[in-house]
């Protein structure tokens, strides 16, 4: 793999995480429990989609075959998507959303932070822009985790269940594959072992503060990074890609 | 009009008339998103997006091209620069004042209460961290009771 191919593949994967989570959140637009949370969700989704656009555009530049951000988003199939399984899971209830975002964003913020120090200027610039946004997101998701965990008997029980359910999707974040190794070797890319330690500390601190129990590591689902997805991604893409698949090249 | 060199200061003056589509009292130069103007071949304007997902980015780029073409600059190139990332510190002092007059409290780095843009009272409270656009929060003045928007610090 040349450096350019490596960067294109790595940037696409970052874009996939951001786009799939952004799309999941957009499903909830106009369904918020109250106005503040409605706007928070829409604003955060917009950040993710904006980041996906930057990552895809950059992937297209590295690849050099003239693919645009739209080609990456709308014209790739399920197995070509390399996002984590966590971000493609159905939305569930409000507690599920909070826990998913908290688990993912705690990982993502460290990943982006490490990328600001990688030797590739294109990726480090996008990461520098995005990390500021995700720090702001995290303030929100962490606060809600505390509020729900240390809230009523009902909210505590339900958010604990969310945590227990989603825990199986966290292992995959820290298992390096060829692409992670190549990024580390060629571009001083993120060191997933270090990120895992940082993530564990932040997550266990927040979980304890929220009076919740940290789940034990059991069986971990994996495959998203290799394009083997849960059944949920296909439906998400089918809806998102419908227009471009049915009317190829349609534009505003 | 290839071959005709444009005056950089003139081009910047033209750009200072291009309004931000979301907050039209602010020009793109007030906002601090014009990072460079290069007049060596045609005109290249370097712009930095405020937020990654800001929907105004494309509108602003199109407005810059239109504004310069109207003034006879045919060869306009827009360069999108991400680094260093935009911060609200780049909003000019005039921009901050324009925001206040428009009814939006300008971003505040110091740890102090947000002053009401209408009556200047510091007796204010946060209503919602999230406002009508990604860059604003909703506040309320406890003195004059007017709701107002606050441009979040980034």
- With H, G, I as helix, E, B as strand and everything else as coil, classify residue B76: strand
Token pair listed for B79:
């360069």
In a domain, B3, yes or no: no
| pLDDT tens digits, one per residue of B82-106 | 888 899 999 999 999 999 999 999 9
Residue B56: which domain range? 8-86
Q: Within this chain, do residues B79 and B58 fall inside the same structural domain, yes or no?
A: yes
Dist. CA B91–CA B108, nearest whole Å: 11
Q: Please say if the pLDDT value at position B2 is more than 70.
A: no
Half-sphere exposure of A152 (CA within 13 A, CB side): 4
Residues B50 and B67 in one domain: yes
Is it the case that residue A117 has pLDDT exceeding 60?
yes
pLDDT of residue B4: 59
The CATH number assigned to the domain holding B29 equals: 3.30.300.130
Is residue A18 a contact partner of residue A49, using CB atoms and an 8 Å limit? yes
B53 shares a domain with B26: yes
Per-residue confidence (pLDDT) for residue B66, from 0 to 100? 95
What does the alpha-carbon distance between residue A82 and residue B122 come to, in Å, rounded to a whole number?
49
Q: List residues in chain B touching A: CB distance below 8 A.
A: 49, 51-55, 82-86, 128-134, 154
pLDDT digits (tens, 9 = 90+) for A32-65: 888 889 999 999 999 999 999 999 999 999 999 9
DSSP B7: P
Q: List pLDDT tens digits, range A58-89.
A: 999 999 999 999 999 999 999 999 999 999 99
Domain-embedded: residue B114:
yes
Q: Does residue B2 lie within any of the structural domains?
A: no
Residue A148: predicted pLDDT? 98
Beta strands in B2-154 (DSSP E): 34-38, 43-47, 76-80, 104-105, 124-128, 136-141, 147-151
Residues B18 and B55 in one domain: yes
CATH topology of domain A3-246: Ferritin (1.20.1260)
Domain ranges of chain A: 3-246
Q: How confident is the model at residue B50 (pLDDT cuts 50, 70, 90)?
A: confident
The shortest C-alpha distance from B88 to chain A (Å) reads 12
pLDDT top residue among A161 and A2: A161
Residue B3 has pLDDT above 60, yes or no: no
Give the nearest chain A residue to B51 (CA atoms): A47
Average pLDDT value for chain B? 90
Question: CB neighbours of B53 closer than 8 A, spacing ≥ 6?
Answer: A46, A47, A48, A49, A50, A51, A53, B134
Number of domains in chain B: 2
Query: Contact B53/A140, CB-based, under 8 Å?
Result: no
- From B132's Cα to the closest Cα of chain A, the distance in A is 7
- Which chain B residues have a beta carbon less than 8 Å from that of A136? 154
Q: For residue B136, which phi and psi values (nearest 5 degrees)?
A: -125, 150
Assess whether pLDDT exceeds 80 at residue B110: no
The predicted pLDDT at position A218 comes to 93
Q: How far is residue A102's CA from residue A143's CA, in Å, rounded to a whole number? A: 9
Nearest one of B135, B88, B94, B85 to B107, comparing CA atoms: B88
CA distance A208 to A163: 12
Across the interface, do A124 and B134 touch by the CB < 8 Å criterion?
no
* B76 and B115 fall within a common domain: no
pLDDT value at residue B130: 85
Nearest CA in chain A to B49: A129
Q: What's the average model confidence in pLDDT over A199-227?
A: 97
Shared-domain flag, residues B139 and B97: yes
Between A219 and A33, the higher pLDDT residue: A219
- Relative orientation angle of helices A3-26 and A121-149, to the nearest 10 degrees: 30
Probe site for chain A from B52, B125, B140 (most A CB atoms < 10 A)? B52
Interface test with A, best of B130, B137, B150 (most A CBs within 10 A): B130
For residue B127, the chain A residue with the least C-alpha distance is A36
For residue A35, give how far its alpha carbon lies from the nearest alpha carbon of chain B (Å).
Answer: 9
Q: Which two tokens stand for residue A25?
A: 């959140």
In a domain, B103, yes or no: yes
**pLDDT of A27 strictly over 90:** yes
Chain-wide mean pLDDT for chain A?
A: 96
Q: Which of B69, B86, B103 is the last residue of a domain?
A: B86
Q: Which of B85, B131, B154 sits opposite A39 (nearest CB)?
A: B131
Tell me which chain A residues have a C-beta less than 8 angstroms from the C-beta of B85.
125, 128-129, 132
**Which of A50, A121, A125 lies nearest to residue B51, judging by beta carbons?**
A50
Closest in B51, B83, B154 to A128, CB measured: B83
Shortest CA distance to B49 belongs to which of A32, A125, A160? A125
Beta-carbon contacts of residue A166 (< 8 Å; ≥ 6 apart): A86, A89, A96, A99, A100, A103
Report the share of chain A in percent with pLDDT over 90: 96
Same domain, yes or no: B81 and B118: no
CA-wise closest residue to A118 among A56, A183, A195: A183
Residue B138 and residue B101 share a domain: yes
Based on the fold, state whether residues B73 and B98 are members of the same structural domain: no
Grouping H, G, I as helix, E, B as strand and the rest as coil, residue B47 is strand
pLDDT in the model for residue B1: 45
Six token digits for residue A88: 């493609």
What is the per-residue pLDDT for B53? Answer: 79
């Amino acid at each position: 793999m040349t450096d350019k191919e490596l960067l294109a593949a790595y940037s696409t994967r970052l874009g996939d995480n951001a786009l799939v989570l952004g799309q999941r959140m957009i499903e909830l637009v106009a369904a918020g429990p109250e106005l503040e949370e409605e706007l928070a969700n829409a604003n955060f989704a917009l950040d993710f989609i904006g980041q996906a656009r930057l990552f895809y555009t950059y992937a297209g530049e590295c690849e050099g075959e003239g693919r645009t951000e739209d080609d990456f988003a709308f014209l790739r199939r399920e197995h070509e998507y390399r996002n984590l399984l966590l971000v493609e899971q159905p939305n569930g209830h409000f507690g599920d959303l909070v826990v998913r975002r908290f688990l993912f964003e705690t990982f993502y913020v460290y990943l982006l932070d490490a990328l600001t120090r990688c030797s590739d200027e294109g990726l480090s610039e996008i990461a520098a822009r995005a990390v500021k946004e995700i720090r702001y997101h995290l303030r929100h998701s962490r606060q809600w985790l505390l509020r729900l965990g240390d809230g009523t008997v009902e909210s505590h029980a339900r958010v604990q269940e969310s945590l227990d359910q989603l825990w199986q999707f966290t292992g995959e974040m820290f298992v390096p594959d060829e692409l992670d190794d190549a990024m580390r070797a060629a571009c001083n890319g993120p060191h997933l072992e270090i990120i895992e330690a940082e993530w564990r500390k932040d997550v266990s601190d927040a979980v304890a503060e929220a009076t919740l129990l940290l789940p034990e590591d059991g069986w971990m689902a994996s495959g998203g990074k290799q394009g083997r997805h849960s059944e949920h991604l296909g439906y998400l893409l089918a809806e998102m890609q419908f227009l471009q698949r049915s009317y190829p090249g349609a534009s505003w | 009009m290839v071959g005709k060199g444009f005056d950089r200061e003139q081009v910047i003056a033209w750009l200072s008339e291009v309004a931000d589509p979301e907050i039209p009292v602010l020009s793109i130069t007030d906002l601090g998103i014009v990072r460079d103007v290069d007049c060596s071949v045609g005109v290249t304007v370097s712009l930095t997006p405020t937020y990654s997902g800001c929907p105004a980015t494309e509108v602003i780029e199109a407005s810059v091209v239109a504004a310069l073409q109207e003034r006879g600059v045919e060869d306009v190139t827009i360069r999108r620069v991400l680094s260093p990332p935009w911060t609200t510190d780049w909003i000019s002092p005039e921009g901050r004042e324009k925001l206040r007059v428009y009814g939006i409290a300008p971003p505040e780095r110091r740890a102090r209460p947000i002053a009401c843009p209408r009556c200047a009272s510091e007796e204010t409270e946060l209503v919602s961290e999230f406002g009508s656009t990604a860059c604003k929060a909703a506040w309320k003045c406890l003195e004059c009771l007017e709701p107002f928007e606050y441009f979040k610090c980034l």
